[in-house]
Structure 1
Amino acid sequence: MNNRNRAAQPPTEDISSPYFLHPSDNPGITLVPQQLNGSNYATWSRSFTTALLAKNKLVFVDGSILRPPREDLLYHQWIRCNSMVISWIRNFVSSQICSSIMYLDDAYTIWFDLKERFSTADSTRVYQLKQQFMSLSQG
């Protein structure tokens, strides 16, 4: 396919567009091996980020594509893709965490909220691990 044909393609049909949803994309697909439970944020977010990047949907959580105005031609496509990403996030967080994000309707807002709440390191645990590491000796 040449570039002229690609440019004329609607974003929902262009596989390189973040607005494209593959027929196999659905709210119930498995994206990551574990649910976010709070203590596993670092590994969960890394796995989830990788999955979203592979699906070309990371832009919905990193703030690159924010909700367009209602008059925008891409508004309904944005709503559809944002809703799919929200479904994926809700399916891969614990039920307690899910209830706390249930009424947020923007994937970016949800992602930011989870990051703010769970990415902070447990300073006591970090100190304990550093102390254990310092006390290691060979033999």
Structure 2
Amino acid sequence: MAGNNEKELKGNEGIINHDSPYYIHPSGYPRKFHVNDVLTDGNYNDRKEEIQNFLFAKNKIGLVNGSTKKPNEDASDYMAWMRCDAIMIKGWRNESLEKEIRMSVKYAPTAHDIWADLKERFGKESAS
């Protein structure tokens, strides 16, 4: 999705396309993250699924899995990407991670970096 042109970002009437991952619904403010429990070092696999489902439903999963790439600074969709990454995904992080974990990823530059760090730290499957 990197480097989308204005036509892809906006519909015929200049309004951001609701199917765009850059679209932020009025109910999608940062403190509105619907997961049952915060992610801790003991529940990563369960919370990962719940968080992914939530982000998929909000059309924001590409920001954490890396499929919605960060556009160049001169691209027309750069600010839209930055807004979604900084406000929505990082804001949702504050509601979905235990404080100690949240503090450890506080300075990650993108939501994708946060997700990759969490996967590396907690995503190891135990052999039974």
- Residue 7 of structure 1: how far off its partner (Å): 4.7
Structure with higher helix content: 1
Does the C-alpha gap of structure 1 residues 76 and 24 become closer, same or farther in structure 2, counting only changes over 3 Å? same
- Residue 13 of structure 1: how far off its partner (Å): 1.9
Q: 2:40 aligns with which of 12, 37, 41?
A: 37
Give the letter for the 2:44 counterpart: Y
Does 1:46 find its partner at 2:49? Answer: yes
- Residue 9 of structure 1: how far off its partner (Å): 5.1
Query: Match for residue 8 of structure 1?
Result: 12
TM-score (norm 2): 0.85
Query: Match for residue 89 of structure 1?
Result: 93
Larger Rg: 1
Q: How does 1:74-85 map to 2 (within 5 A)?
A: 74-83=77-86, 84-85=88-89
C-alpha distance in 2 between matches for 1:118 and 1:9 = 45
- Residue 122 of structure 1: how far off its partner (Å): 3.9
When the two structures are aligned, how many residues end up with a matched partner?
118
Q: State whether residues 61 and 107 of structure 1, in contact with CA within 8 Å, keep that contact through their aligned partners in structure 2.
A: yes
Unaligned runs of 5+ in 1: 1-5, 127-139
TM-score (norm 1): 0.79
Does the C-alpha gap of structure 1 residues 103 and 14 become closer, same or farther in structure 2, counting only changes over 3 Å? same
Give RMSD over aligned pairs: 1.5
